[in-house]
Chains A and B, each alone.
Chain A
Amino acid sequence: MIACTDFIPAYSELFKFLEKQGGKAKVVEFWNYLSDNFLGNLRDLAAKHGLRGCWMYWSRTLNEEAADFTMELDEELGELQFQMHKCPSKGRLLEFRHIEPYPDYCEHCDVLYRRVLEPLGLDYRIDLSHCDEARCTGVIRRKKQ
């Protein structure tokens, strides 16, 4: 067994392995595959509860991942904002001195979640411009009818 606490480096090494085998396109193909096959929980919650479903999903996962974050839900405005002050995944990868993170590691968060949420009428935007410091911000909005 690989400990779930060792998953993030395993994930990063998987991206490197796939890129070596089939280029960046193969990595993105895997992210699409993972989104379709693994994120059923988020898909079900968002389909049933909309933005609140997203809130429910990340309330659990970000706490289990011991993330340093702020999340704000404004249902009247139709918006869920998040600020990741220190991403537990990227933060870990940057802390390990003996492994090199996959350079585009954080992009998976854009591909995986957008693919789930946008078909459900939710606009998903993430700013990864500070991901080298394990920080990012994002917003999910109900699309206008």
Chain B
Amino acid sequence: MAKEIMQRKASDNVYLHKDFHGALSNGIQFVHDTYGAEAVRQYLRQFVAAFYAPLKAEIKRRGLAALKDHFEKMYRAEGGVIHITCSDDELRLEVEACPAVMHMRQHGYKIAELFYETTKTVNEALCDGTPFAAELIQYDDANGHSIQRFYRRKQS
């Protein structure tokens, strides 16, 4: 039988491996089972503070428009349908169905009980240290449909 060879350059493909959502879900479940729910939130805050530091700097510089650009790019890449309204003081994002949840459901990956924290806590942590705050108004575990809101904090 002949030898088979596959050779690829990075530029041959688009970087989009949705199975990673399943791996993250397993990570969240492991932290939850091992250290509890607050540890999941602590981990996600640590991740956001480290990796999204440039995005947080953009939010401080450009306001909610930076978040709007971030979400539009992210959901476009993953094929998610979203509706955004954005002003200087408020951004409202509706996600028809979360691409991560839909991928995991289609492929039989277990979805962590606290998977919604990748939206709720991540959004809150993105706003830490900025003039804005975040709230998760609605979230459906079945398909990840959500309504997310970001708004300017009242000055005390």
Interface residues in chain A, defined as those with a beta carbon under 8 Å from any beta carbon in chain B: 1-11, 13-14, 16-18, 21-22, 26, 30, 33-34, 37-38, 41, 55, 59, 61-76, 86, 88, 96, 98-99
A interface, over-half SS:
helix
Count how many pairs of residues, one from A and one from B, have CB atoms less than 8 Å apart in the complex.
143
Which one of A10, A17, A76 contacts B24 once the chains associate, using CB atoms below 8 Å? A10
What are 20 A-B contacts with C-beta separation under 8 Å? Answer: A1-B78, A1-B95, A1-B119, A1-B144, A2-B100, A4-B78, A7-B24, A10-B27, A11-B24, A13-B46, A13-B50, A34-B26, A37-B26, A61-B17, A64-B15, A66-B13, A75-B1, A88-B15, A96-B51, A98-B51
A18 B31 Cβ-Cβ under 8 A: yes
B34 interfacial contact with A, CB 8 Å: yes
Report the minimal beta-carbon distance from A142 to chain B, rounded to whole angstroms: 13
A33 B19 Cβ-Cβ under 8 A: no
B interface, over-half SS:
helix
- A37-B110, A64-B18, A68-B9 are known; give 7 further A-B pairs, CB within 8 A: A1-B95, A1-B144, A14-B47, A17-B43, A59-B6, A61-B17, A65-B17
A14 B8 Cβ-Cβ under 8 A: no
A73 B30 Cβ-Cβ under 8 A: no
> B21: which A residues are within 8 A, CB to CB?
4, 7
Query: A55 to B1, alpha carbons, bound, how many Å?
Result: 15
Interface residues in chain B, defined as those with a beta carbon under 8 Å from any beta carbon in chain A: 1, 3-24, 26-27, 30-31, 34-35, 39, 42-43, 46-47, 50-51, 53-54, 74-75, 77-78, 80, 95, 98-100, 109-110, 118-119, 122, 144
A76 B1 Cβ-Cβ under 8 A: yes
> A65: which B residues are within 8 A, CB to CB?
13, 15, 17
